[in-house]
């Protein structure tokens, strides 16, 4: 949930979406996507109980669709999560710089603020996950309480004294252009799936991954639907887009009054930092899993001897973050638009691809196990969890992926003829093809390594 960055979505994504699209069915979109992701999670969690691996998506696809496809998914995952993580340096750097200027009169360059956040992330990323979990938990609880308070305040102060339930109704998603709302809603949930990444570091992965995933999807869905609905109630359905366009993030903060708005403004910054740290942890564990299985250089599989955190992978991710901050600063690019929005959207698009691949992998893995066994074994998931739910989720997610590809220019906020409208989707296709090709090369040149792909902690025993 920290990776989802709820306050960042509520104060950043919702106002922008209202302002840009002019549509007011964001609450309905959040509910629908929450339902789709809940159905997806049924198969995802069922597979996570049988495959304990820090590679999560990568290992699932490798086991369900074949090792070359697994390596392709791994490359997409590394690209997507790295994009999401480094994008947050732009948002945090720009937001902290603006906050210091407004409240203290200090004019600090965004890249200096981003550099300080980078240093803190680099240190914490090399520590034990338990420490990070406690830190993120404290920040998250305060964040959720604040969002709830703002939402309740907005709902109890309706414009003209009228509360409209229209934005909550699914009928609002049948109008032209509403597909963009569903795609943005999927991107807003990005991060909910990270529980399985830490499956090797919890005492009871079968129970913990199940609880963490479903609780995250449920709470996030309720939170998002309520917060986005509260904005339409407070400003009015017909005027919320104008208010969001004029006020930006403040349009959400104002629902709670001056005192709450001041607290929320600070928590907006901690929300960005919490998401940045969460994505750093996730991507470093992906690279660790790939290094352990020799898909990436073996050095990526080294851990900190004191904390057991993926030391080299964490340092590699930190190095990438520093290079991106320096590159954007040197090129004088806009940290919010060119770094946060563009790379953040691209990262979310990559996660949507992984969700589709994982749903297909659950079906493939389940069919393999059923064909290899005469009788069902205790602990095996039923037909609903292993076949039906993943198939329903796959159909819905593929529809969203198609809409995202077709409407990428609108999602990105650029003209249809812009190079960026096709460059980002094409980049993922090339990354996936590179991964599949590398998997085939490994099969021909290093068969022992190939046989260990997707096997997680058992990889060393197979070589």
Distances (CA, A) of 287 to 77, 86, 284, 294, 297: 9, 15, 5, 10, 9
- The pLDDT assigned to 200 comes to 62
Q: 278-299 pLDDT, tens per residue?
A: 788 878 888 888 888 888 888 8
Given a contact cutoff of 8 angstroms between Cβ atoms, the answer to whether 333 and 114 are in contact is no
**Integer CA distances (angstroms), 219 to 182, 222, 390, in order:** 18, 5, 22
326-354 pLDDT tens trace: 999 999 998 887 888 788 888 888 888 99
375 confidence band (pLDDT: 50, 70, 90): very low
Residue 205 has pLDDT above 70, yes or no: no
283 within 8 A of 78, measured Cβ to Cβ: yes
pLDDT band at 393; cut points 50, 70, 90: very high
| Domain 6-457: top CATH class | mainly alpha
330: Cβ contacts below 8 Å, ≥ 6 apart: none
At residue 130 the predicted structure's pLDDT band, cuts being 50, 70 and 90, is low
Task: Using the predicted structure, report yes or no on whether residue 27 has a pLDDT greater than 90.
Answer: yes
N-terminal to C-terminal alpha carbon distance within the chain: 37
Q: What does the pLDDT read at residue 377?
A: 56
* Residue 436 predicted with pLDDT over 80: yes
Give the pLDDT band of residue 197 (cuts 50, 70, 90): low
Q: Which residues contact 109 (CB under 8 A, 6 or more apart)?
A: 97, 329
Instruction: Round to whole Å and give the CA distance between 85 and 80.
Output: 9
pLDDT in the model for residue 374? 46
Length of the chain: 463
Sort 92 into a burial class: Cβ within 10 Å, 0-12 / 13-18 / 19+.
buried
On whether the CB atoms of residues 306 and 71 are closer than 8 A, the answer is no
Whether residue 461 is predicted with pLDDT greater than 60 in this model: the reply is: no
Q: Are 53 and 200 in contact (CB under 8 A)?
A: yes
State percent of the chain over pLDDT 70.
Answer: 90
Angle, helices 342-371/67-104, rounded to nearest 10 degrees:
150
State the angle between helix axes of 311-331 and 110-124 in degrees (0 to 180), rounded to the nearest 10: 180
185, with CB counted inside 10 A (0-12, 13-18, 19+), is: buried
More confident residue, 279 or 199: 279
Q: Is the pLDDT of residue 121 over 80?
A: yes
Q: What is the pLDDT of residue 206?
A: 67
- For 254-281, write each residue's pLDDT tens digit: 998 888 888 888 888 888 887 888 788 8
Residue 148 has pLDDT above 50, yes or no: yes
For 4, 88, 246, 269, the CA distances from 8, given in Å and listed in that order, are: 8, 10, 18, 8
For 231-252, how does the pLDDT look when each residue is reduced to its tens digit (9 = 90+)? 999 999 889 999 988 888 888 9
What are the phi and psi torsion angles at 156 (to 5°)?
-95, 5
Residue 89, pLDDT score: 93
Quick check: 460 pLDDT over 60?
A: no
The chain-wide mean pLDDT, for the chain, equals 84
pLDDT-derived band at 214 (thresholds 50, 70, 90) equals: confident
Domain coordinates of the chain in residue numbers?
6-457
Q: Which of 266, 186, 170, 176 is nearest to 224 (CA)?
A: 186
User: Given a cut of 90, is residue 114 above it in pLDDT?
Assistant: yes
Rounded distance between C-alpha atoms, residue 252 and residue 256, angstroms: 8
Assess whether pLDDT exceeds 60 at residue 72: yes
């Amino acid at each position: 949930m920290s990776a989802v960055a709820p306050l960042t979505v509520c104060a950043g994504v919702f106002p922008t979406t209202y302002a840009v699209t002019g549509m007011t069915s964001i609450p309905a979109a959040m509910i629908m996507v929450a339902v789709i992701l809940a159905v997806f999670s049924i198969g995802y969690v069922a597979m996570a109980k049988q495959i304990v691996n820090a590679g999560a998506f990568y290992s699932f696809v490798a086991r369900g669709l074949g090792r070359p496809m697994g390596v392709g998914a791994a490359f997409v995952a590394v690209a997507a999560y790295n994009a999401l993580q480094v994008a947050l340096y732009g948002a945090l750097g720009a937001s902290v710089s603006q906050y210091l200027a407004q409240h203290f009169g200090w004019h600090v360059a965004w890249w200096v603020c981003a550099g300080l956040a980078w240093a803190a992330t680099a240190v914490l990323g090399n520590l034990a996950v338990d420490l990070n979990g406690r830190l993120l938990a404290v920040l998250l609880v305060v964040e959720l309480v604040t969002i709830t308070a703002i939402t309740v305040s907005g709902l109890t102060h309706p414009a003209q004294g009228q509360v409209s339930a229209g934005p909550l109704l699914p009928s609002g998603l049948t109008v032209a252009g509403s597909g963009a709302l569903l795609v943005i809603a999927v991107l807003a949930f990005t991060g909910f799936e990270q529980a399985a990444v830490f499956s090797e570091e919890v005492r009871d992965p079968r129970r913990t991954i199940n609880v963490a995933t479903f609780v995250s999807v449920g709470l996030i869905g309720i939170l998002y639907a309520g917060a986005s609905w509260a904005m339409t109630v407070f400003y009015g359905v017909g005027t919320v887009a104008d208010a969001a366009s004029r006020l930006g993030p403040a349009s959400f903060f104002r629902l709670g009054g001056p005192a709450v708005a001041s607290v929320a403004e600070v928590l907006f910054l901690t929300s960005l930092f919490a998401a940045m740290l969460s994505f750093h942890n996730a991507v470093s564990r992906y690279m660790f899993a790939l290094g352990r299985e020799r898909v990436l250089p073996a050095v990526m599989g080294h851990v900190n001897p004191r904390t057991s955190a993926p030391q080299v992978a964490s340092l590699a991710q930190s190095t990438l973050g520093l290079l991106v901050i320096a590159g954007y600063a040197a090129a004088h690019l806009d940290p919010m638009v060119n770094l946060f929005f563009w790379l953040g959207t691209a990262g979310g698009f990559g996660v949507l691809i992984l969700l589709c691949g994982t749903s297909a992998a659950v079906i493939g893995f389940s069919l393999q196990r059923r064909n290899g066994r005469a009788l069902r074994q205790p602990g095996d998931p039923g037909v609903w969890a292993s076949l039906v739910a993943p198939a329903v989720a796959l159909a819905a997610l593929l529809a969203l992926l198609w809409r995202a590809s077709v409407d990428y220019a609108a999602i990105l906020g650029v003209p249809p003829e812009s190079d960026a409208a096709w460059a980002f989707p094409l980049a993922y296709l090339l990354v996936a093809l590179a991964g599949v090709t590398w998997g085939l090369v490994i099969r021909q040149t290093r068969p022992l390594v190939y046989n260990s792909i997707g096997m997680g902690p058992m990889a060393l025993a197979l070589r």
